Structure formats: C-alpha cells, structure tokens
Amino acid sequence: MIYLDNSATTKPYPEVVQSFQKVAEQYYANPSSIHKFGSEAERLLLQSKKQAAQLLKVSPEEVIFTSGGTEGNNIAIKGIALEHQSRGKHIITTQIEHPSVLEACRALESLGFEVSYLPVTETGSVRVEDIKASIRQDTVLISIMSVNNELGTVQPIREIGQVVHEYPKIFFHVDHVQGLGKIDMDFYECGIDLCTMSGHKVHGLNGTGALFVKRRTKLFPLHHGGGQEGAYRAGTENLAGNVSFVKALRMSMQQKATAVNKLRTLNERLRNRLAVNPFVIINSPSEAAPHIINVSVPGFKPEVVIHALGEKGIYISTMSACSSKRSDESAVLAACQLKEDRTTSALRISMSYQNTQEEIDMFASELEKVLAELNKVMG
C-alpha cells in the first residue's frame, strides 16, 4: 500500500498507540477526583500540558487540550466573538479556510455578526494589504490558516501578525492544523493570540488536539460544567488521548528537525515527474508546504482516477476530507480564480515523513498509466 492522503489523516505512530493504551489501562481515574488515584491522573495531565507547552514554546496555562481542529477552531472563533461582541461584531477571514472556520463564521452571521471573506491570489495566498484595508473599528477577530489544506499554500502569518499588532483590541487566530510539524511558526513572534492544532494530522489519534490561548485572552466557553481546561472546555479530560497527543507532537517535531529536507526532496521529485505528465497541471505553488501537492487532470473525473489508483493500493484524495462528499468543484481552487476544468478535476497528494522515494516514483508511474488508460476508454 502507498498512502498519500496524509492531509486527511496520518497513520498513528506505534509509540503513540502504546502510550494511549498504557494510560487508559493504568491511569483511568478522573483527574478531578480527590483521592490518590485521581491525584495521580491529575499529575499526569499537568505533566502532559507542561510537555506540550515546552514543545510549542509557550506557557502551560496557555494550552487547552481539545478533540482536534474542528473543535479548536469553533472554540477560538465563537469564543472570541461571543465574549467581545459588545465591542464589535466584525470578523475577517479568507475564502479558502477550512470548513470548520467558514461554517463557524456563517453561524455567527446568523447571530448578527458581519464577516469579510477575503479573496486570494491564483496561488491561494491572502494579500496582507487586503487584510489591512478590511479592518474596521468594530473588528474583533482575524482568522487565517497557516497552511492551506488543499493547495499547501503557506500564508504570510508573521506579516499579518505585524498588522494586527497595530490594533491591540483585535485578536489573531491561526488554524495551524496543516502546518504543525511541517513549517516553523513561533506563536509569540507572529503575534498569535489563538492557534489550533490537531493530533491526527501529526501521527496522533483521532479525537485529540490542542488550542493555544495567549495569556489574558478571554473567551466565552462553548462548554459549561466542571470548569476543566481553565473553564474553557468543561468535561472530564481525555487523559489517555492528551498524553498520546503530546507523544505524537514530540515525535513529529523530532521528525521535522531531522527529515524535513527529505520531505522537500520528495516534493521536488514528484513535481518533476508530474510536470512531464501531459494530463496533469500542478496547482500548488513551488514555495508551498513540503507535504502537499495539488494537481488538476482536466477532462477526467477525479473520483474515477482515485478509485483506479485505489485498485492498485495507492491512496490520494480530491478536496479536504471534510468537504469531499459535497460539490464536485473545489471551493479553494474556485477562489483562486482557476478555470472550471481545473477546479472540478483536482487531486491532492499529501505526503508524510514516512513516505519513500520508491513510493513516490511508483505513484507517479501508476498515475501516468491510469490516465493513459482512461484517456483511451474516453477517446
């Protein structure tokens, strides 16, 4: 099997699964219980939070464990909007954000908020000057993803943070789900107030993740109850999941430090192979994140290509897994003003540090064969 759908989800590290199992079996007490067993669970929870903070270079009290990217984005966006609505009801984001950001914003619109959905360039990059021009007196939040989940485009987060810094009452949220473990991003230096992360994108388990909430940032909690996670996310903590997330985070960051150049080499090798395929147009910019390459195959139905590759044990995807069962057109590519024959025929190849040169070469060869065979049938 050749798995190239790592932007949808990654294969958990064996060590991550082992850590989950160990904690689930040995530390199953409620961390809020006052007996010794509960206190041991609480110590492990606090230790995990401290370790996550060290890896992210933030303070432990700024880390909120979550169930993943969708929940983190909702807590950040709705939490800021509802807490600070007396000061303003204007939010700025882009047209190519993850559905969990776009749908959260649309939900807030139904409550009377106004949202500016900014356009992007042909390569999927938001213009910093557009953000600056969109800021209003009643703007309370700017939400921009670090790496686009379909194109791999890296957004100018540092430059945006510098703009936001000029407006002390505006909060800056970054969806870092695709960027975590792939690109460098210092939360403090980039002026980020809230940052979303997901475990299953970094070889962790589904249902795990974290949200960075900068000190003195106030949110309206979406969950009320026992006051866990600084009262931002009430409910008994997923201790085993949290420990496994930190394990995955550590291992992925170690991989990034030692193998990111290998991933860039694989990316370049695949680009070179795809560039000579007469049926393929590469959509991702050359300076995109190293793990994602988006292409179009005009004239072919992407689902047919994906199923044909699947018969050969090769797995890629079309759009974001959260929107792949909707319209045939990629909303991201449409926002980039690409022609319809490209927006309706997109394929996403997403690699991990575990992929090899042999797998990349085999995929490129099999894709050539599949497209040539389908072309004959269609022709």
Q: What pLDDT digit, counting tens, does each position of 141-193 carry?
A: 999 999 999 999 999 999 999 999 999 999 999 999 999 999 999 999 999 99
Residue 88 identity: G
Q: Write out pLDDT tens, residues 293-313.
A: 999 999 999 999 999 999 999
Work out the number of other CB atoms within 10 angstroms of the CB of residue 300: 21
What are the structural domain ranges in the chain?
2-8+259-371, 14-251
Note the pLDDT of residue 146: 98
The residues, ordered by sequence, that sit 6+ positions from 240 with a Cβ below 8 Å of its Cβ are 19, 20, 21, 23, 24, 27
Note the pLDDT of residue 74: 98
The residues, ordered by sequence, that sit 6+ positions from 67 with a Cβ below 8 Å of its Cβ are 207, 208, 209, 238
Work out the number of other CB atoms within 10 angstroms of the CB of residue 132: 16
Question: Can you tell me the mean pLDDT for 89-116?
Answer: 98
Strands 209-213 and 63-66: antiparallel
pTM for the structure as a whole = 0.95
pLDDT band at 342 (very low <50, low <70, confident <90, very high): very high
* Per-residue DSSP letter, 147: B
User: Residues 294, 346: contact at Cβ < 8 Å?
Assistant: yes
Was domain 2-8+259-371 assigned CATH 3.90.1150.10?
Answer: yes
pLDDT band at 378 (very low <50, low <70, confident <90, very high): confident
User: Residues 71, 101: contact at Cβ < 8 Å?
Assistant: no
Tell me whether residue 257 is exposed, middle or buried, using C-beta atoms within 10 angstroms of its C-beta: 0 to 12, 13 to 18, 19 or more. Answer: exposed
Residue 71 has pLDDT above 60, yes or no: yes
Question: Can you tell me the mean pLDDT for 17-26?
Answer: 98
Residue 81 identity: A
Question: Can you tell me the mean pLDDT for 358-363?
Answer: 98
Dist CA 190 CA 277 (whole Å) = 39
Q: Which of 105, 190, 195, 322 is catalytic?
A: 322
CATH architecture entry for 14-251:
3-Layer(aba) Sandwich (3.40)
Q: Let me know the angle formed at the C-alpha of 295 by 2 and 286, rounded to the nearest 5 degrees.
A: 100
Strands 346-350 and 292-296: antiparallel
pLDDT band at 106 (very low <50, low <70, confident <90, very high): very high
Dist CA 200 CA 117 (whole Å) = 28
pLDDT band at 212 (very low <50, low <70, confident <90, very high): very high
Note the pLDDT of residue 323: 52
Residue 328 has pLDDT above 90, yes or no: no
b/e map of 31-66 (b: 16 or more CB within 10 Å)?
beeeeeeeeebbebbeebbebbbeebebeeebbbbb
pLDDT band at 243 (very low <50, low <70, confident <90, very high): very high
pLDDT band at 379 (very low <50, low <70, confident <90, very high): low
Note the pLDDT of residue 159: 98
Question: Can you tell me the mean pLDDT for 41-70?
Answer: 98
The phi and psi torsions of 278 (rounded to 5 degrees) equal -65, -15
* Torsion over CA: 365, 202, 104, 163 (sign): negative
Note the pLDDT of residue 258: 92
Note the pLDDT of residue 327: 66
Note the pLDDT of residue 266: 97
- Residue 322 bears catalytic tag: yes
pLDDT band at 79 (very low <50, low <70, confident <90, very high): very high
**DSSP structure string for 327-340:** -SS-HHHHHTT--H
